[in-house]
Amino acid sequence: MQQSGVPGSRGCALCPLLGVLFFQGVYVIFSLEIKADAHVRGYVGENIKLRCTFKSSSSITDKLTIDWTYRPPSSSRTESIFHYQSFQYPTTAGTFRDRISWVGDVYKGDASISISNPTMKDNGTFSCAVKNPPDVHHNIPATELTVTERALTRRGMTAWRSSVFVVLSVWIQTMKRHIDGSLHDRRRVA
């Protein structure tokens, strides 16, 4: 017995349902957007801010969590360095112990942290993960941090040259007085 209707009409009856599920899935996947700087350059001893911002389709609640992790160069090992859920929980162990500070504001969509007293050993990849249930599916952006020694700037070089000039001037004046004094003493003797 042959069915009436268009062949495959049974499958088409599911299309609207699949379409709704697809669009709801896309909404859930893209309902939380996180952004961070791809590359950050910092200098030894000068605080470094790692920016992370987010947009959520849900209101901020005490269920919101923020997790920052660190991965050293040429390594697959990650280290948790900061956790936020209503309160700030910087790491109490490891390389970043007592050096991570919260500088964000969750109500403004800011999940940024700061590293104090950075060294070149802090180079690596930092990742910022935000979850704001029911918004939990999202991208996890990574920031490559490069910490270097600060090069002598033009202003610093000018100050250095000025210092050298002052020291040389004082030395020359001192030597001149010493020589003049010696000549004056010789004239007295003669």
User: Which tokens sit at 3?
Assistant: 């069915």
Report the alpha-carbon distance of residue 177 to residue 187 in Å, rounded. 15
By the 10 Å C-beta count (0-12 exposed, 13-18 middle, 19+ buried), 88 is classed as middle
By the 10 Å C-beta count (0-12 exposed, 13-18 middle, 19+ buried), 144 is classed as middle
Report the alpha-carbon distance of residue 75 to residue 69 in Å, rounded. 13
Question: What share of the chain in percent tops pLDDT 70?
Answer: 69
Q: 164: left (phi > 0), else alpha (psi -120 to 50), else beta? A: alpha
Quote the pLDDT of residue 88. Answer: 94
- List, for residues 133-143, the tens digit of each pLDDT value: 998 877 899 99
3-class DSSP state of 49: strand
Contact 92, 76 (CB under 8 A): no
By the 10 Å C-beta count (0-12 exposed, 13-18 middle, 19+ buried), 142 is classed as middle
Return the closest-CA partner of residue 70 out of 132, 12, 113, 26: 113
Quote the pLDDT of residue 54. Answer: 96
Report the alpha-carbon distance of residue 172 to residue 177 in Å, rounded. 9
Report the alpha-carbon distance of residue 113 to residue 122 in Å, rounded. 14
**3-12, 68-77, 89-98: segment of lowest average pLDDT:** 3-12
- List, for residues 143-175, the tens digit of each pLDDT value: 999 999 998 655 655 665 666 666 667 777 777
For 12, how many CA atoms within 13 A lie in the half-sphere containing its CB?
5
Contact 66, 104 (CB under 8 A): yes
Q: Quote the pTM value.
A: 0.65
Res 177 pLDDT > 50: yes
